[in-house]
Structure 1
């Protein structure tokens, strides 16, 4: 399995049918900033466009934050690119990577132009597979706003399930912000993968008794 030191030496490109995921660089950040400045994108990235955190994340500072995260290996950010590498659709990442606990949080955002085309589902699926199969993660968490229906569908299509809120009676920071939490375990991922392979094999041999 790839350790933090392995990935610090070289982050592999991840390929899907339509996309290539590459390590996010300063050049990508400049291109992404145009998308991230869209008010609708901002709403789901930071809660509201007026949030103080957004005000300080100008491209140069955002680029430094991405580089600092890479140096510490607390996060790994990818640019979501078209197969030919000409178009940038958005970003996705593993954040808060705890190598000892074998868990990380997945994040993603697309330029509004590319919403609803399945790119996020494809990118997140590739990242989840990479996390479980190459990074040795045992658990992946995802968060999104309760009103962000598109992101909710992306997480659910990739086998993630919403987690119940805390029963402490005290709302957490995330609950106050309207953020809901999804997660998937490696065992659930593997079961889903095995069922999909069995279904594909059944279809190939003319059967239809196995549900995907």
Structure 2
């Protein structure tokens, strides 16, 4: 089920433990993790643990996480994927993060477009969701650029870093 995805500038491949060192650097940046439901990392072993856990979810067809590799430099510049796969209801929730040095260059929408294409055309899903904290304006702009529909705000919907946070929910349907 898991296949590599390519765009004009990116290669998305299933995350691997060998990516730990680079992803640790990204996930240890408080600006990158500000709106993620993890604290910024302090030890590379934290990245290894997360990747191992995500590999287990992938083996159970519950989630898929990709390392985002810039083709020109062959550098890992972030990660993205399906946080949860719900084949019973033909839907998924996506997530993504990009290293700060690569912000504003269009990599997030490019990677998400590949996820959307794969979700709708290969996984035969009907709905892709994204949940974003209302203060995460850059992520909201990415979703708007990709014509996701804002459906509303889930009040105090999840606990993140010890506090309850509101989440804006966006969706894109196969028919959109």
Within the candidate set 112, 116, 125, 2:113 is matched to 125
- Partners of 2:85 and 2:91 within 8 A in 1: yes
79-88 vs 140-149, greater mean Cα deviation: 79-88
Q: Distance in 1 between matches of 2:20 and 2:140?
A: 25
Structure 2 residue aligned with 1:90: 78
Structure 1 residue 59: deviation in Å?
Answer: 2.1
The answer to which of 61-70 and 73-82 deviates more is: 61-70
Q: Distance in 2 between matches of 1:143 and 1:131?
A: 17
Partner of 1:16: 7
The answer to which structure has the higher strand fraction is 2
For 1:78, the equivalent position in structure 2 comes to 66
The structure that has the greater radius of gyration is 1
Q: Partner of 1:165: helix, strand, or coil?
A: strand
User: C-alpha distance in 2, partners of 1:58/1:142?
Assistant: 24
In structure 1, the residue corresponding to 2:49 is in which secondary structure? helix
Q: Larger % of helix: which?
A: 1
Distance 1:60 1:83 in 2: 24
Give the deviation of 1:87 after TM superposition: 0.8
Aligned residues: 171
Normalization by structure 2: what TM-score? 0.88
Q: Runs of 5+ in structure 1 lacking a partner?
A: 1-6, 189-212
Residues 8-87 of structure 1 aligned to structure 2 (within 5 Å): 11-46=2-37, 49=39, 58-84=46-72, 86-87=74-75
Match of 1:113 in 2: 101
TM-score (norm 1): 0.74
Report the alpha carbon displacement of residue 43 of structure 1 after superposing the two structures with TM: 1.1
Provide the alpha-carbon RMSD of the alignment.
2.1
Q: Which runs of 5+ in 2 are unaligned?
A: none
1:55 is displaced (CA, Å) by 7.9
